[in-house]
Amino acid sequence: MTNTKLIFYCILLICLPANAAQWGTVLTDRAVIYADQSMMAPIGYIKKGQKVRVGEIKRSYGKLLPVVVSGKIAYIQVKDINSNTKLTQLQSATERKKAGDKKTVEKRVSVIYSGYASFINIDKDSSFSGETNAGEIFYFNGGGLRGYTSDLSSNSTWRITLDYGTTLVKDNKFTVLNLVGEYSYNIVQANNYDLRLYGGGIVVPYTQYSYDNLFTVNGYGAGASAGAEMVFKILDGLGLHLDAGYSYTKLFFRLPSQTNINKYEPSFHGVKFSAGLSFAY
C-alpha cells in the first residue's frame, strides 16, 4: 500500500503542468492549504520557510497555485509563497518600469552670448555711396535664447535660436534679429562632454540699417549656417555650450528717395561663435 501511494504521489507530481514544475518557499507564518479553488475547505497549513512543489498556471483569477499534498492536488495562495513565477513577474514589471522611466528625449533651454566677425559684399550698382566695403570686417555683438530637443536614442538634436546682434561701429550700423533652425548630430559622445556637427537655415524677420546718421531703414533677410558645438556636462541638468561655425546672411532694404537707389542688398559671411549655459527641463 505504501508503494502504491508513493507511485500515485509521483504521478500527481508529474501531472502538474509540464511547463510549470517549480519550487516555492513559504513566506507567511502559516500558509493555509485548500482542498479546492473555492477556498472554502482548508485542509491544513505549511510553516514559514518550508519548500513546496507548485505549478506555474494560476487558478481562481490569479489567486491560487496548485500544490501536491499527501498525494493529492491542493491549492495555496500566491501571496503566501515566493516562487519562480512571482520572481519572473517581478523582474518583468521592474524591467518594464525601467524601460518606461528611461529618458528618450531631453529638452534644454540656453542663454547665449554670440559674436560674428563678417566680411560684407555689396554690389557697386546698389551702393548709394559708391563704395563696396570690400575687405572690410564687420563685428556683430549680441545674445539670445536657444532651445534644444535631443533624441537620446539616435544622438540627434534639433536646436532653435533667437538672437539679436548689432555692429560695434556707430556709422554704417547694422542691427539684426535672427531666427535660426538647425539640426545637429553627435560625432563624439563621452561621459562629460559631447561634440556635435550642425547645419541649418536663418530667417531674419527684422533688421535695421543706419548710415552716418543720415537715414535709418528697416528690412529683412535670410541665410544659412554650419559648424560644430561642444557640450560640457557640468552638473545634472546643467550644461556649458561652446560653438563656432560659418554663417552667411543676405539682407534686403528699401532706401529713401534721396539716395537715388531703390534697394540695398548687402550680404555677410564669416565666422560666428557663441557660448551659453543650458538647463534641462
**What angle (nearest 5°) sits at the alpha carbon of residue 119, between those of residues 114 and 251?**
80
Integer Cα distance of 51 and 58 in angstroms: 18
Tell me the average pLDDT across 197-214: 93
pLDDT at 108: 96
Integer Cα distance of 127 and 133 in angstroms: 9
Query: Where is 3: in which H helix or E strand?
Result: helix 2-15
Candidate from 131-135, 174-178, 184-188, 191-195 with smallest mean pLDDT: 131-135
pLDDT at 203: 98
Domains of the chain with CATH codes: 2-101 (2.30.30.40), 105-280 (2.40.160.20)
Integer Cα distance of 139 and 170 in angstroms: 12
CB neighbour list of residue 217: distance below 8 Å, 6 or more residues apart = 208, 209, 253, 254, 255, 256, 264
pLDDT at 134 over 70: no
pLDDT at 83: 66
Which grid coordinates are listed for 160? 532653435
Q: How confident is the model at residue 128 (pLDDT cuts 50, 70, 90)?
A: low
Of the spans 32-36, 93-97, 199-203, which averages the highest pLDDT? 199-203
% of the chain beyond a pLDDT of 90: 42
The pLDDT mean for the chain works out to 83
pLDDT at 132: 53
pLDDT at 119 over 70: yes
Which grid coordinates are listed for 44? 491544513
pLDDT tens-digit profile of 69-108?
Answer: 777 888 888 888 876 655 455 455 556 665 556 678 999 9
Burial class (CB in 10 A: 0-12, 13-18, 19+), 131: exposed
Residue 189, CA distances (Å) to 81, 240, 263, 281 in order: 46, 15, 47, 21
Q: How confident is the model at residue 13 (pLDDT cuts 50, 70, 90)?
A: very low
For residues 75 and 62, is the Cβ–Cβ distance under 8 A? no
pLDDT at 181: 98
One-letter amino acid for residue 273 of the chain: F
Residue 271, CA distances (Å) to 41, 52, 139, 185, 226 in order: 85, 75, 10, 20, 10
For residues 239 and 249, is the Cβ–Cβ distance under 8 A? no
Integer Cα distance of 224 and 207 in angstroms: 16
pLDDT at 19: 42
Q: How confident is the model at residue 277 (pLDDT cuts 50, 70, 90)?
A: very high
Task: Please give the model's pTM, rounded to 2 decimal places.
Answer: 0.63
pLDDT at 145 over 90: yes
Residue 224, CA distances (Å) to 139, 143, 169, 183, 246 in order: 18, 18, 24, 12, 8
pLDDT tens-digit profile of 161-185?
Answer: 999 999 987 778 899 999 999 999 9
- List the beta bridge partners of residue 114: 142, 274
Tell me the average pLDDT across 254-261: 73
Integer Cα distance of 126 and 260 in angstroms: 10
pLDDT at 229 over 80: yes
Phi, psi for 46 (deg, rounded to 5): -125, 140
pLDDT tens-digit profile of 231-242?
Answer: 999 988 899 999
Q: Cell numbers 566680411 label which residue?
A: 119
